[in-house]
């Protein structure tokens, strides 16, 4: 064997060995590495779809006598059918270097051959504390409120948070404090991001090794470059512990960083009080299953989550599914482009609303609908002829 072939053979064996070692990592350790690498990325694109997979309640006894609650139960079941037909889709991008993020919310209703989609795109530029809203539901509402206002279709609506708050658009001091410009500052973005990353990684690291199961790859996994599919089964106790731990840790970290006030922390803490939630958790059964796809690059390619909640008797059940995909790590792509120049300022839209209302008040409102000229039903009746007229004399 020549020296060249020997070197190639050795390199080939090294590649096989390294690959084999990478795949031989314990499931928990490999997931920890993939989550950390993904969270350390400076940006990425993502898409998510959430829908209700199960929503059941006790059926009304067929032999039960109709009562006052029957109508309410009928409305409740109608509401359940509507919820089942709804899904929420989200596409977005995050760029920590450029300090901006975008998201496209797509609310869909699909049932009985009726399909409705409402989209709301938003871009937040934290470096300039500016929000850009697309011409979807927001545009529709503004056009309805003020049809005489500036043309918004095909344009982005620019909202400068500094100007919005300076001009007193938010009258409530508490609301102004909560939605202040600091909420959209680059510094706050870093604070929230760092806290979120740290708490997620901590929660994943603390999971019990027995919760992890290796899953066979699907054909879709192989096509998209996923090399390992890891399932995490969390029972009731693990699910409750994870949720409570993350909520409490995030709230404390935000308070320490000054991102929220003591008053806000106290209000949040009341909602997540462990004693109250523990009592509530005793009345329900909670379970979560996560399938995580780890790509060849070592990043997380997707997370598929199944959440189930039921009462202890199993009469009421709720199932929710979320599928999140991630790509373009460290090189996110944005679809909302304010630099294209098609922008209308939010102040111009707001200024047009009082003028439109004043014009509506001045315009006369007819009390009755004008009569149809071709309709003779309202014509005056001909006077009745007297019996002593000419015809009666004949």
In the block, residue with structure tokens 């989209």? 119
Pairing mode, strands 300-311 and 284-295? antiparallel
pTM above 0.95, yes or no: no
In this structure, what token pair is assigned to residue 7?
Answer: 């070197």
pLDDT in the model for residue 126: 93
The rounded distance, in Å, linking the Cα atoms of 195 and 208 is 22
Report the 10 Å Cβ neighbour count for 112: 7
Closest CA to 312 of 284, 286, 287, 277: 284
**121 and 136 Cβ atoms separated by less than 8 Å:** yes
Closest CA to 259 of 203, 311, 357, 191: 191
Mean pLDDT by 10 residues, the chain (394 residues): 52 45 77 97 96 80 47 62 85 96 91 82 92 68 52 80 68 54 75 91 94 96 95 91 85 83 80 73 89 96 95 87 97 91 81 63 56 52 44 39
Q: DSSP secondary-structure letter at 81?
A: H
pLDDT in the model for residue 369: 52
pLDDT in the model for residue 145: 47
Please state the domain extents for the chain.
Answer: 25-58+70-359
pLDDT in the model for residue 367: 54
Helices and strands of the chain, counted as H and E runs: 13, 12
In this structure, what token pair is assigned to residue 46?
Answer: 């993502």
In this structure, what token pair is assigned to residue 105?
Answer: 């919310």
pLDDT in the model for residue 174: 55
346 burial (CB, 10 Å; 0-12 / 13-18 / 19+) is: buried
pLDDT in the model for residue 243: 84
The rounded distance, in Å, linking the Cα atoms of 216 and 291 is 11
Phi/psi for 167 (5° steps) reads -85, 5
């Amino acid at each position: 064997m020549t020296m060249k072939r020997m070197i190639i053979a050795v390199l080939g064996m090294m590649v096989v060995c390294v690959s084999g070692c990478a795949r031989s990592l314990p499931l928990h350790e490999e997931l920890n590495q993939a989550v950390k690498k993904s969270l350390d990325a400076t940006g990425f694109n993502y898409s998510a779809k959430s829908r209700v997979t199960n929503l059941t309640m006790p059926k009304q006894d067929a032999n039960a006598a109709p009562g006052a609650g029957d109508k309410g139960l009928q409305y409740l079941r109608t509401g359940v059918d509507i919820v089942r037909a709804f899904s929420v889709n989200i596409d977005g991008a995050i760029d920590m270097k450029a300090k901006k993020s975008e998201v496209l919310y797509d609310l869909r209703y699909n049932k009985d051959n009726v399909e409705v989609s409402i989209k709301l795109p938003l871009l937040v530029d934290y470096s300039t504390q500016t929000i850009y809203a697309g011409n979807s539901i927001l545009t529709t509402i503004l056009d309805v409120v003020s049809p005489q206002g500036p043309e918004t279709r095909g344009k982005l609506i620019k909202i400068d948070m500094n100007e919005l708050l300076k001009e007193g658009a938010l009258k409530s001091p508490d609301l102004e404090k909560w939605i202040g410009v600091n909420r959209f500052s680059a510094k706050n973005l870093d604070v929230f991001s760092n806290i979120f990353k740290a708490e997620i990684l901590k929660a994943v690291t603390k999971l019990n090794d027995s919760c992890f199961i290796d899953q066979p790859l699907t054909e879709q996994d192989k096509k998209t470059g996923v090399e390992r599919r890891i399932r995490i089964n969390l029972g009731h106790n693990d699910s409750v512990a994870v949720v409570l731990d993350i909520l409490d840790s995030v709230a404390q970290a935000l308070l320490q960083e000054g991102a929220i006030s003591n008053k806000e922390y106290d209000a949040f803490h009341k909602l997540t009080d462990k004693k109250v939630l523990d009592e509530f958790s005793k009345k329900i059964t909670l379970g979560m299953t996560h399938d995580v796809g780890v790509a060849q690059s070592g990043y997380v390619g997707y997370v598929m989550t199944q959440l189930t909640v039921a009462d202890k008797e199993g009469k009421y059940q709720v199932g929710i599914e979320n599928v999140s995909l991630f790509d373009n790590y460290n090189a996110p792509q944005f679809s909302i482009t304010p630099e294209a120049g098609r922008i209308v300022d939010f102040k111009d839209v707001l200024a047009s609303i009082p003028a439109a209302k004043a014009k509506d008040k001045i315009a006369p409102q007819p009390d009755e609908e004008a009569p149809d000229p071709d309709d003779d039903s309202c014509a005056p009746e001909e006077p009745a002829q007297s019996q002593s007229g000419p015809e009666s004399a004949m």
